[in-house]
Amino acid sequence: QLQLVESGGGLVQAGESLRLSCTTNGFSLDYFAAGWFRQVPGKEREGVSCISSNGHSTNYADSVKGRFTISRDYAKNTVYLQMNSLKPEDTGIYYCAAEVGITSVQRGCPTRHEYTRWGQGTQVAVSS
C-alpha cells in the first residue's frame, strides 16, 4: 500500500517560512493526487492545498492562497508544502494525504473523507 512520511514542522515567528515534506513509500507509480490538511484541537481537519497526479494543477484554501505553494518531486517521491509569510492562525498539526483512485484536482480538492492514505502529522506553531 501507499505509505506517507511527513517532516519539516517547527516553531517560527509570524512572517517567517517553513517547508513541509511528505515522502511516499511502498508505491512506485505516480498515479495519485495528494494534499495537505491541518487540524487544531477541538476542530475538524481542514483542507489546505492539493495537487494533481502530474503536478500541473493545484488548489489552495482562501486562507493560504498567495502564501503557500504545493509541489512534488517525482525523483525524490516527495510532496512539498512551502509556507511563507506565516501567521499565528496557521498553527496546527499538518497532515499529508494521498489517494491512488484520484488523479485530477481541476474541479477542486478531494475531501478528507475521500483520501485513504495519511501521514502521521507534523506540528507547526507560529508565534506573534
pLDDT digits (tens, 9 = 90+) for 77-128: 899 999 999 999 999 999 999 988 888 999 999 999 999 899 999 999 999 9
Instruction: List, in sequence order, every beta strand (DSSP E) within 8-67.
Output: 10-13, 18-25, 33-39, 46-51, 58-60
Answer whether residue 31 shows pLDDT above 80.
no
Task: Give me the pLDDT at residue 28, please.
Answer: 57
DSSP states along 77-110: TEEEEEE-S--GGG-EEEEEEEETT----TT-PP
CA angle centred on 108, ends 106 and 109, rounded to 5°: 115
Percent of the chain with pLDDT over 70: 95
